[in-house]
């Protein structure tokens, strides 16, 4: 039984960051909603209570049952979690006189406390709360304070129960990783043995047990996620994996042919299917982003349904779903997080399709998927590829999608991506692409007035896609790319560059 850390989610925007920080310490963890806590067994080495947009003083705020956790296994409350423990066991939580948000410095650290071991006085931490703990219960011991927050950290006397008012998972808490390591390793006793190699071994064994000798159909996209999922499944079940690479008419320029050859060179049992006409037909006249995503998803399912009937006794549909897909499409494991957008490979299958779903990567972040891929010795040309949305260029064309617009955008995208590679900038960017805007603008070419289309270029830096910053590409580079696009792509007379970060924007425009 693999040791695990349980993270109870109260809806914080930072919950997924807690998971990433734990995973970076080579410790496996799972996020579960506070009101759907799994059975507490010996495999759970410790529990972390997340932050929350709620106030513990609100009648409608989360009220987790901690009777099997507190005092029995190590427990760390973060922000709301710390306030909840104080509030419900005899302390007092009240509105802060000033909203405590942003950087702060620890003014007092109880260095003899196991959680605070090695944390320097004056260490920078990140606060994000409107309430504050005014009074601790009698058996709570203060372990950290700032100038404005007297009870920034505490431990319950006689228990391995801790609370911190700041967020160690956030980059701006400079010694946050050390604090989490103190809790996970020194308090919980985790052995830090969850590595890419161990994930591969455990996942292959689990897939073999779950699937047996059944046949699996997997849709390849050319991206990192589906490629790693395919190699994992192939390692587990060999030729019983039947891969389908669909040309939806929304791929990048020449991508279908080149990627298909790459997959065949990897030894995968792969079939190429040209279904672009079906996608264009289903997308005809649609302008709403969600409607387009759902239409593309529907056709994917229809194509897989048709192809599955050609594979005798196929019983499973493999998918490269990863954690951010799940988080953004539905509440995390049914938890309180808000739906942002739907993903074509999340949400199950229609009743008429009898295939069961297998998603070997659904609890991994993007950077973890790449580490797994390196462990599997997948070609770096595939592992190093930027993420590309499942609906492809269909959600990079704002408004209705036509073959003519796709052809224009393919050329623009090709110039942008090729230029990034030529200038040695491609690996500095996490994701890049071009967006076809639903506007036309006046321009001048030679002595002629033009009234043509505009495109936006988008490039971001990130680690997992949950947050992203716009990439500060050199002005000279952007000028060169803009000139190439306007001179080389008929129908485009204006190029813009998107300097929005996520949040508040998303990486894709739709």
| Catalytic residue annotation | 79, 167, 169
At 489 the three-state DSSP class reads: coil
CB half-sphere exposure, 503, CA atoms < 13 A:
5
Which tokens in the block code for residue 75? Answer: 């427990």
Output the furthest CA–CA distance in the chain (Å, rounded).
83
Identify the DSSP state of 182: I
**What would the DSSP string read from start to end of 281-328?**
HHHTT---HHHHHHHHHHHHHHHHHHHHTTSTTEEEEE----HHHHHH
* Cα–Cα distance for residue pair 18/35, rounded to 1 Å: 19
* Cα–Cα distance for residue pair 15/80, rounded to 1 Å: 11
| 509 and 485 Cβ atoms separated by less than 8 Å | no
Q: Which residues contact 281 (CB under 8 A, 6 or more apart)?
A: none
CA distances from 10 to 47, 54, 64, 508 (A): 13, 8, 9, 27
* Cα–Cα distance for residue pair 295/279, rounded to 1 Å: 8
What does the angle CA 46 – CA 51 – CA 56 come to, to the nearest 5 degrees? 110
> How does 24-37 read in b/e, with b if 16+ C-beta sit within 10 Å?
ebebbbebbbbeeb
Which tokens in the block code for residue 349? Answer: 């299958």
Identify the DSSP state of 1: -
Question: 343: left (phi > 0), else alpha (psi -120 to 50), else beta?
Answer: beta
* Cα–Cα distance for residue pair 166/101, rounded to 1 Å: 9
| 262 and 231 Cβ atoms separated by less than 8 Å | no
Identify the DSSP state of 19: H
Task: Specify the pairing of strand 140-146 against strand 92-109.
Answer: antiparallel
């Amino acid at each position: 039984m693999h040791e695990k850390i349980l993270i109870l989610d109260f809806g914080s925007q930072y919950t997924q960051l807690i998971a990433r920080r734990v995973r970076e310490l080579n410790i496996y963890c799972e996020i579960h909603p506070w009101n759907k806590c799994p059975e507490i067994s010996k495999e759970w080495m410790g529990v972390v209570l997340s932050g929350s947009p709620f106030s513990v003083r609100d009648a409608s705020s989360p009220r987790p049952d901690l009777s099997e956790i507190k005092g029995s296994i190590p427990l760390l409350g973060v922000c709301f979690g710390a306030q909840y423990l104080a509030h419900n066991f005899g302390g007092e939580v009240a509105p802060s006189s000033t909203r405590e948000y942003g950087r702060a410095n620890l003014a007092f650290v109880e260095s003899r406390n196991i959680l605070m071991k090695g944390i320097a006085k004056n260490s920078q931490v990140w606060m994000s709360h409107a309430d504050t703990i005014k009074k601790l219960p009698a058996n709570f011991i203060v372990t950290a304070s700032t100038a404005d927050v007297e009870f920034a950290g505490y431990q319950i006397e006689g228990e391995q129960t801790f609370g911190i008012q700041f967020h160690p998972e956030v980059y701006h808490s400079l010694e946050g990783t050390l604090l989490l390591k103190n809790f996970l390793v020194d308090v919980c006793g985790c052995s830090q043995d969850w590595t890419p190699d161990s994930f591969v071994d455990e996942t292959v064994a689990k897939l073999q047990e779950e699937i047996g000798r059944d046949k699996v159909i997997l849709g390849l996209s050319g991206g990192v996620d589906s490629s790693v999922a395919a190699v994992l499944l192939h390692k587990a079940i060999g030729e019983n994996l039947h891969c389908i690479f669909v040309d939806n008419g929304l791929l990048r320029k020449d991508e279908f042919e080149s990627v298909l050859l790459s997959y065949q060179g990897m030894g995968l049992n792969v079939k190429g299917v040209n279904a672009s006409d079906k996608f264009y037909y289903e997308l005809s006249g649609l302008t709403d982003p969600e409607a387009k995503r759902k239409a593309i998803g529907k056709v994917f399912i229809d194509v897989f349904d048709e192809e599955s009937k050609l594979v005798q006794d196929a019983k499973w549909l493999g998918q490269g779903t990863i954690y951010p897909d799940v988080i953004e499409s539905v509440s995390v494991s049914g938890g309180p997080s808000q739906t942002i957008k739907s993903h074509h490979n999340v949400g199950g299958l229609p009743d008429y399709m009898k295939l069961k779903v297998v998603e070997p990567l659904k609890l991994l972040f993007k950077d973890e998927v790449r580490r797994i891929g390196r462990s599997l010795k997948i070609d770096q040309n595939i592992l190093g590829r930027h993420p590309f949305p499942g609906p492809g260029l269909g959600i990079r064309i704002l408004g209705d999608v036509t073959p003519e617009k796709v052809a224009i955008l393919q050329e623009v995208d090709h110039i942008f991506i090729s230029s990034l590679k030529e200038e040695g900038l491609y690996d500095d960017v996490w994701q890049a692409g071009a967006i076809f805007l639903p506007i036309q603008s006046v321009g001048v070419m030679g002595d002629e007035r033009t009234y043509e289309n505009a495109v936006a270029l988008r490039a971001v830096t990130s680690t997992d896609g949950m947050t992203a910053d716009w990439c500060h590409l050199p002005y000279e580079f952007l000028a060169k790319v803009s000139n190439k696009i306007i001179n080389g792509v008929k129908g485009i007379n204006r190029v813009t560059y998107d300097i929005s970060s996520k949040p508040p924007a998303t990486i894709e425009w739709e």
